[in-house]
């Protein structure tokens, strides 16, 4: 019931905060709604600064906690950010039932190319929450494999949901149950949100850690102690693959949504990137 209430709340907030359907970046499902947050009094014509690309979790939005708070905290440190809705989510084009993690990686890579083209941007970092954490980690790995010299300057993962692969293999995903061998055309997570067969099938085969570990730069992993959706072992496994480059911070009393100590987590993120990106 609590999860159902959460989804209804997300639907309500997203309908209020939907942005204009004018797109500058396109992914596999079409145009991606986005929002750029700049430091106060920043002049894009005469000044330069680093930027962080922020990626939300499954069924969520760029306008849902913790993304706005993180964008504001970064701006106070002189760092721009660009947050966006993945394809099929809310004000971006596409359908939720056609969502896959690979499609979201392609969305992230498209957003990376756009951010890199902005004349005022110096260095780029990536951040992802929940499924967005999986996407951010694999995107960083892809970028490192393609062009080590131009790879991500820093990476933050908040409750990275690598458990999604196990969930799809075991036939139990966010309240939905299905035969993991004979997959249905779609299943309804939380009884509401349709996830398609392609998502279930492709997530079963994901090489999450193998792709992610190609990234050799600094990583900060943040996980709420009271997270009931993504188990702590996900962050611990990420910490192992990144080795000495990673720092794992467990936030006492925090939940998966980062709704209890939002400002504290946002400040942790901002300080990490400020120390890295300058």
Q: What is the mean pLDDT of residues 215-238?
A: 97
What average pLDDT does the segment 14-27 reach?
65
The overall average pLDDT reported for the chain is 92
Say what the pLDDT of residue 149 is.
Answer: 54
pLDDT at 17: 41
Whether the pLDDT of residue 152 is over 50: the answer is yes
- How sure is the predictor about 150, in pLDDT bands with cuts at 50, 70 and 90? low
Say what percent of the chain tops pLDDT 90: 88
User: Is the pLDDT higher at 224 or at 19?
Assistant: 224
Summarised one tens digit per residue, pLDDT across range 67-81 is 999 999 999 999 999
Q: Which among 38, 133, 140 is positioned nearest to 81, based on CA atoms?
A: 38
Q: Across residues 202-207, what is the average pLDDT?
A: 98
pLDDT in tens, 246-267: 999 999 999 999 999 999 999 9
Supply the pLDDT for residue 1.
39
- Give me the pLDDT at residue 2, please: 52
Confidence band of 151 (pLDDT split at 50, 70, 90): confident
Tens of pLDDT, residues 3-19: 543 553 444 344 334 44
Contact residues for 227 (Cβ-Cβ < 8 A; gap 6+)? 159, 254, 255, 256
% pLDDT > 70, the chain: 91
Alpha helices in the chain (DSSP H): 2-17, 67-76, 101-117, 131-146, 163-170, 197-204, 208-212, 232-242, 262-277
**CA end-to-end span of the chain, whole Å?**
44
Q: Give me the pLDDT at residue 22, please.
A: 80
Whole-model pTM above 0.85? yes
């Amino acid at each position: 019931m609590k999860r159902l209430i959460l989804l209804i709340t997300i639907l309500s907030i997203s309908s209020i905060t939907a942005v204009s359907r004018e797109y500058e970046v396109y992914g596999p499902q079409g145009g991606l709604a986005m929002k750029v947050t700049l430091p106060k009094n920043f002049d894009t014509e005469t000044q330069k600064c680093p930027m962080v690309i922020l990626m939300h979790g499954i069924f969520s939005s760029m306008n849902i906690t913790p993304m706005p708070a993180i964008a504001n905290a970064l701006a106070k440190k002189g760092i721009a950010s660009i947050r966006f809705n993945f394809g099929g989510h809310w004000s971006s084009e596409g359908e939720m039932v056609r969502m896959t993690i690979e499609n979201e990686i392609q969305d992230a890579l498209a957003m990376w190319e756009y951010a890199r083209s902005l004349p005022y941007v110096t260095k780029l970092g990536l951040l992802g929450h929940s499924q967005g954490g999986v996407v951010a980690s694999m995107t960083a790995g892809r970028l490192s494999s393609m062009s080590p010299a131009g790879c991500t300057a820093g990476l933050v993962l908040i409750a990275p949901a690598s458990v999604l692969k196990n969930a799809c293999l075991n036939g139990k995903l966010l309240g939905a149950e299905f035969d993991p061998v004979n997959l249905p055309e779609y299943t309804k997570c939380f009884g509401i949100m349709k996830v398609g067969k392609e998502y279930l099938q492709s997530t079963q085969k994901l090489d999450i850690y193998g792709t992610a570990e190609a990234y050799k730069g600094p990583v900060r992993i943040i996980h709420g102690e009271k997270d009931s959706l993504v188990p702590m072992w996900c962050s611990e496994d990420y910490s192992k693959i990144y080795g000495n480059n990673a720092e794992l911070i467990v936030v006492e009393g925090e939940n998966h949504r980062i709704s209890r100590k939002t400002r504290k987590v946002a400040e942790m993120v901002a300080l990490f990137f400020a120390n890295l990106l300058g």
